[in-house]
Structure 1
């Protein structure tokens, strides 16, 4: 008997490889996949604005890179003695305004450069709910724990999501004629919005994304949402909050991502890197034993061979760890 509904994940036409330059943007699930790509030595720029959830803020961030926008003191606000930007995640926030601006603008520069040369832009949409400041109607990418009474919340309709992403992509394609765009919808359930409201939000995102994917040749969809919600479909694959997929679920999605989105030769390299990463995570019972020293020497040799075969990749951290 079958107790799970599985489905095939169709491989992309053009697929990613180690020589590609990637830019990932979006929700916290983008961070999960982005960190795995970085760990496996792919060339990734991850979330230049920090985590962003709604498609309007993501589109706005991309436009700011294309415009080479420079942030100034007028773009920051002070809350509980911390300087923040409404367009950025709190990882950019701090007590020193000059340092906050420097970090933001350095990230802007890196994102602007990467977007012009990127082979892939991977966008993970989290929620169709957007927040606006009541005082001036400004779109907010992150609320920074400012009291909820300061904002108006809106479920952005599909046509508005489509228009924002469509306009952004037209501008991007004019600047970068080779870039492919891969959309995913985050499987994280935003139950703070309400269960029904979360489902409505995801439905809007799915409708908008598939409309765009069907419209453009260089757009693709990877079903991270469906893999967790329809394939795994069990609370044992969630963290204690019952909202975020746990490590086992993310690993399951990652394995499907590799098979569907990465070229076979690069998949083979990624598997070899994964072996080294598992070895680095091994905790020996007796670190001084001859057996463990031989284990380190074997792994160092494998890391060295990979470095020689792929000189453009940086295996320095693994080589140092294994004592090459």
Structure 2
């Protein structure tokens, strides 16, 4: 008797591999994937504008990287003594406008360079809801180029915004235009779409399901239209395979550690090549060793442990030049020399 539905995930014809440059953008679930891959020494850049949820915000951000759009002080607005950008997460906000602009434009420049060389763009869409700033709202003049849409509300009063659920056709139009601009900018790039399994319960269960359904339909339209677009079913793995509240955090909205690890395992199996999967195990062992806290650090056994792992890190880095174990090698050698 089966107690879990299964999903047959077709492996990518040309899978992700070590040495590829991976650009990730979208909802908070993007960062689960990005942090996992980055922690295993993949070359990643994630969310240069911070977390983004709706297709309009994601597309506008990608367009800004392609154009290497530079932000100006007049595109910031002051709220609660902090300068913010409607196009960016609050981690780019600052009490000094010049500092905020510097942080934002440094991120823009880095994203422009990385995206131009990226092998993969992984886009995770979270919600079809787009927030539009009302013309009468303070800070309206700072939404230049966003068509009044905002990527982050920065806890501004709710009455400043109009909430709009994007139609399927609107999302398709946004994604289609973005695809053509991106391919012109970087012809080799391939795209993996996912839909975030995070449930936006503040919208209500019914509205959340409508929102997700529109994203899924729009993404599959794109995947069926172009040969270098792919869909990874992160949403379905959590909602339809795990489908139990024990796989959610206390808020009943965000998948917990076990759920995200399961999704990452399935992503690895279906989207990453076999050689890289084997190498990931070796990298993981070195990362675990780096984080190991010895109960008896002064012993000869621990010294040998450090020396052995320093040698392993050097050998892996020499065999695979795209891996960077500088930090780990330094740690193992410094810790070992301190015991002499």
Give the TM-score of the pair, scaled to structure 2: 0.92
> Is 1:187 the counterpart of 2:192 in the alignment?
no
Number of the residue aligned with 2:126: 126
| 1:149 Cα deviation after fit | 1.1
1:1-40 superposed Cα distances (whole Å, 9 cap, x missing partner): 3221222221111111122111100000001110111111
Number of the residue aligned with 1:21: 21
Number of the residue aligned with 1:68: 68
Number of the residue aligned with 2:276: 266
**Structure 2 CA distance for aligned equivalents of residues 9 and 283 of structure 1:** 38
> Is 1:170 the counterpart of 2:170 in the alignment?
no
Aligned with 1:297 (options 286, 295, 307) = 307
Number of the residue aligned with 2:155: 145
| 1:287 Cα deviation after fit | 2.6
SS of match in other structure, 1:77: strand
Q: Counterparts in 2 of 1:88-103, with a 5 A limit?
A: 88-103=88-103
**Structure 2 CA distance for aligned equivalents of residues 203 and 321 of structure 1:** 48
Number of the residue aligned with 2:239: 229
Runs of 4+, deviation exceeding 4 Å: none
**Structure 2 CA distance for aligned equivalents of residues 59 and 259 of structure 1:** 28
Q: Cα 1:294–1:235, aligned 2, differ >3 Å: closer, same or farther?
A: farther
1:244-288 superposed Cα distances (whole Å, 9 cap, x missing partner): 111121111111111111111111111111112222333333333
SS of match in other structure, 1:322: helix
**Structure 2 CA distance for aligned equivalents of residues 320 and 260 of structure 1:** 34
**Structure 2 CA distance for aligned equivalents of residues 228 and 237 of structure 1:** 8
SS of match in other structure, 2:36: helix
1:38-77 superposed Cα distances (whole Å, 9 cap, x missing partner): 1111111111111100011100111111222110011100
SS of match in other structure, 1:171: helix
Number of the residue aligned with 2:48: 48
RMSD between superposed Cα atoms in Å: 1.4
- Name the stretch that deviates more: 100-109 or 240-249: 240-249
Q: Counterparts in 2 of 1:174-323, with a 5 A limit?
A: 174-323=184-333
List gaps (5 residues or longer) in structure 2: 141-146, 335-340
**Structure 2 CA distance for aligned equivalents of residues 256 and 199 of structure 1:** 23
| 1:292 Cα deviation after fit | 3.0
Number of the residue aligned with 1:37: 37
**Structure 1 CA distance for aligned equivalents of residues 161 and 183 of structure 2:** 34
| 1:209 Cα deviation after fit | 0.3
Number of the residue aligned with 2:86: 86
**Structure 1 CA distance for aligned equivalents of residues 169 and 189 of structure 2:** 24
**Structure 1 CA distance for aligned equivalents of residues 161 and 15 of structure 2:** 41
Give the TM-score of the pair, scaled to structure 1: 0.96
Number of the residue aligned with 2:8: 8
| 1:112 Cα deviation after fit | 1.3
1:82-101 superposed Cα distances (whole Å, 9 cap, x missing partner): 01000001110111111110
| 1:121 Cα deviation after fit | 0.7
| 1:296 Cα deviation after fit | 2.6
SS of match in other structure, 1:288: coil
SS of match in other structure, 2:333: coil
